[in-house]
Chain A
Amino acid sequence: MTATADNARSQLAGTGAGRPLLHSEQAKGLALVSPTFLYAFVLLLLPILVVVAHSFWTQDYLTIDRTFTLENYRLALTEPIYQDLLLRSIFISVTVSIVTVILAYPIAYFISFHGGPHKNLWLFIIMVPFWTSYLLRVMSWKVILGYQGVLNTGLMGVGIIDEPSSALLYNTTAVVITLTHAWAAFAILPIFVSLEKVDRSLLEAARDLGDGPVRSFLRVTLPLSLPGVIAALLIVMIPTVGDYVTPRLVGGTDGVMIANAIQAQFGRAANWPLGAALSVTTMVAVSLVAATVVIGIRTLARAFR
């Protein structure tokens, strides 16, 4: 509504004698956005470019040798340890994003279609845990899954197991569970938003034309909410691939992820170029996987329609 009015206004300004007005709208907009943009440019985009540059250089004891080399990438892609960590990180982030989206979809659907007047309250309730400290949430999973933890002592107390199980903590499963919990709320929002946009009259039409509830869900609601599903997958998949806290606290040796290796290169190992190459490799890899998943879902959706 306002956007159209704005467009109309700027068009008016453009057609009439108001060329300078249009120009000044451009100038005012740029001037106003520039502090925020420059901040992100200087402290985010430039640093990322610096990381990319470092990934082609070599650590020479305390200084950086700035001759171009692909050695870091060779190491990142062929060293078994980095291969393992990268594959595991991708595997974990893909698993977590799919599980999170599958668990989140019914909730988003429930709130959108059956939330009644309390939609905002529901969303608020679901978002609150997300606003609490991530570190604390991971810590509580450590408390739950630990050898002397809540789950073990609880199960022993009820008599289901005789001695504590050490299989709960310090493995990939523990990492997946913790991350799924941590990112749950993030997946719900995009799905909810896309479900809200589904034109309810289309569902009525489908019903009038003889589609049952299941068929109208599969043929109308689900395809129309696909953009939200894809957004949710990406919103979970991309950040989780670089998660550091969860593998560190609940992963053990079996659940170490690539972020732990990256951190080591910038900390103890002090090999910035290798750390940079690992970071770049991770981002490229997760982008490729994300693109594949998106294309796969779209193809699947077309095939079913």
Chain B
Amino acid sequence: MTLARRLALFWLPAYAAFYVLFLYAPVLLLPLFSVNDSATPTLPLAGFTLRWYSQLAGNQEMINAAWNSLRVGVSAAVLSTLLGICGARALTRYRFAGQRPMGALIMAPLILPEIIVGVSLLLVLLSFGMSLSLVTVTLGHVLICVPYSMVVLMSGFEGFDRSLEEASADLGESAFGTFRRVTLPMVAPAILSSLLVSFTISLDEFIIAFFLSGPDPTLPIYIFGQLRFAARLPAVLALGTIMLVASFLLVTIAEILRRRAARRTHTSGGLFV
């Protein structure tokens, strides 16, 4: 066996396995220590317990934060998906002057440091005398969710067979009827996928919320505040575990939906490619 073949057949897969382990091990420590019967996350494990989870259930401060996150997340998801639909449809369906610079600005939050986005929004909102609240957090979250919505929706819209819409119009459907009976069913999975992805991003987002939130904290802000108290770490780990599971489920469903949308319009690529 040549060196190159050994590399391809053994070392590369072995490296891939190690890499996945490196990616997952730190993340999986949270669930592990969230059921560990000890006030500090140390080895060896002390035994199984669910008391950190039951502590959470009675924590009104945490429940309020969760409620805030839910409201911000749903609003941000709906708004960024609506804006994403406009942008993605415009960029995939039409050719127009200024398309590239406009697209670049819309996608810019993907590459800008989040602190720059947060600080500049903060400065403008305060200069205009707006007080910080969940509304300002939502405004910021929409900004950073739109690029992701665009990616998901463009993969659903691209390759969309326009002759189907034309056929529907030729057969006498109104513009709205065509949209409702032809366009919408084809792109519905992509839209749902965009909603889920944006919600997940908003739910997990910390920096923008850190700068733009007023007296009402979102869940990551609440967690950040709790990190100062060592004694509350296990409860934070339990909460973190719940958020991990939620993110995982939402993203998995979003990816399944996106693939279904891409299959319908016969394209590939998107969130993960």
A residues within 8 Å of B by Cβ? 1-2, 6-7, 10, 25-26, 28-30, 32-37, 39-41, 43-48, 50-51, 54, 103, 106-107, 109-111, 113-114, 120, 122-129, 131-137, 139-144, 148-150, 153-154, 157, 181, 184-185, 189, 192-193, 212-214, 234-235, 238-245, 249, 259, 262-263, 266, 272, 275-276, 279, 282-283
Q: In the complex, which of the residues B40, B207, B237 has the most CB atoms of chain A within 10 Å of its own CB atom?
A: B207
B contact residues around A26 at 8 Å (CB): 94, 96-97
| Among all A-B residue pairs, the 9 with the closest Cβ atoms | A242-B113, A29-B94, A29-B96, A36-B87, A213-B4, A47-B120, A33-B90, A133-B204, A32-B90
When C-beta atoms are compared, the residue in chain A nearest to B220 turns out to be: A135
Extra A-B contacts (12), CB below 8 Å, given A33-B96, A36-B146: A2-B159, A25-B94, A41-B105, A43-B142, A44-B143, A107-B16, A107-B19, A120-B273, A122-B16, A239-B113, A240-B113, A276-B123
Q: Does B171 contact A (CB under 8 A)?
A: no
Selected from B90, B105, B113, the residue in CB contact (under 8 A) with A45 is: B105
Q: Please provide the chain B residues from 204 to 254 with a CB less than 8 Å away from any CB of chain A in the complex.
A: 204, 206-207, 210-211, 220, 223-224, 227, 233, 236-237, 240, 243-244, 247-248, 251-252
Interface assignment of B176: CB less than 8 Å from any CB of chain A = no
User: CA of A44 to CA of B141 in the docked complex: distance in angstroms?
Assistant: 12
Shortest Cβ distance from residue B241 to the other chain A in the assembled complex, whole angstroms = 9
Q: Would A129 and B27 count as touching, CB distance under 8 A?
A: yes
Pair A133/B95 contact, Cβ less than 8 Å: no
Residues of A within 8 A of B203 (CB): 133
**Interface core residue of B33, B96, B119, B240 (most chain A CB under 10 Å):** B119
Contact residues in A for B16 (Cβ distance below 8 Å): 106-107, 110-111, 122
- Find out whether the CB atom of B43 lies under 8 angstroms from the CB atom of A153: yes
| Set B111, B220, B223, B251: member contacting A235, Cβ < 8 A | B111
Taking the nearest CB of chain A, how far is it from the CB of B108, in angstroms? 6
B120 touches A50 (CB 8 A): yes
Instruction: Known contacts A40-B108, A235-B111; decide if A131 and B23 are in contact (CB<8 Å).
Output: no
* Docked-complex contact B272 and A120, CB < 8 angstroms: yes
Is A36 in contact with B159, judged by CB distance below 8 angstroms? Answer: no
Q: Report the minimal beta-carbon distance from B218 to chain A, rounded to whole angstroms.
A: 11
Q: By DSSP majority rule, is chain B's interface helix, strand, loop, or mixed?
A: helix
Q: Which residues of B contact A54 (CB under 8 A)?
A: 123
Task: Select the residue from B115, B123, B203 with max chain A CB neighbours within 10 A.
Answer: B115
Q: Which residues of B contact A106 (CB under 8 A)?
A: 12, 15-16, 19
A139 touches B227 (CB 8 A): yes
**Roughly how many angstroms separate A239 CA and B207 CA in the complex, as a whole number?**
12
CB of B47 within 8 Å of the partner chain? no
A35 touches which of B26, B83, B272 (Cβ 8 Å) = B83
Decide if B59 is an interface residue (CB 8 Å cutoff): no
A29 and B90 contact, CB distance less than 8 A: yes
Residue in contact with B123 in the complex, picked from A2, A47, A125, CB distance below 8 Å: A47
Contact assessment for B115 and A262 in the assembled complex, using a CB-CB cutoff below 8 Å: yes
Shortest beta-carbon distance from B242 to chain A in Å: 11
Task: Point out the residue from B109, B119, B233, B271 that lies within 8 Å of A275, measured CB to CB.
Answer: B119
Give CA–CA (A157, B43) in the complex, Å.
7
Contact, CB under 8 Å: B123 / A143 = no
Instruction: For the complex, give the distance between the alpha carbons of A36 and B13 in Å.
Output: 43
Of the candidates B23, B89, B237, the one whose C-beta lies within 8 Å of that of A129 is B23
For B84, the chain A residues whose CB sits under 8 A away are 36
Q: Are B87 and A33 in contact (CB under 8 A)?
A: yes
Residues of chain A lying within 8 A (CB to CB) of residue B244: 132-133, 136
Q: In the complex, A234→B142 CA distance in Å?
A: 24
B240, A139: Cβ atoms under 8 Å?
yes
Answer whether A30 and B96 are a contact pair too, CB < 8 Å, given A36-B84, A39-B146, A135-B223: yes
- For the complex formed, measure the closest distance between the CB of B121 and the CB atoms of chain A, giving whole angstroms: 5
- Digitize B1-32: 1 where CB-to-A-CB distance is under 8 Å, 0 elsewhere: 01010001000110110011011101101100
Q: Pick the residue among A25, A124, A238 that contacts B111 (CB under 8 A).
A: A238
Contact A135 B204, CB 8 Å, known A124-B255, A150-B41: yes
Other-chain residue from A40, A128, A129 in contact with B143 (beta carbon distance below 8 A): A40
> In the complex, A144→B60 CA distance in Å?
29
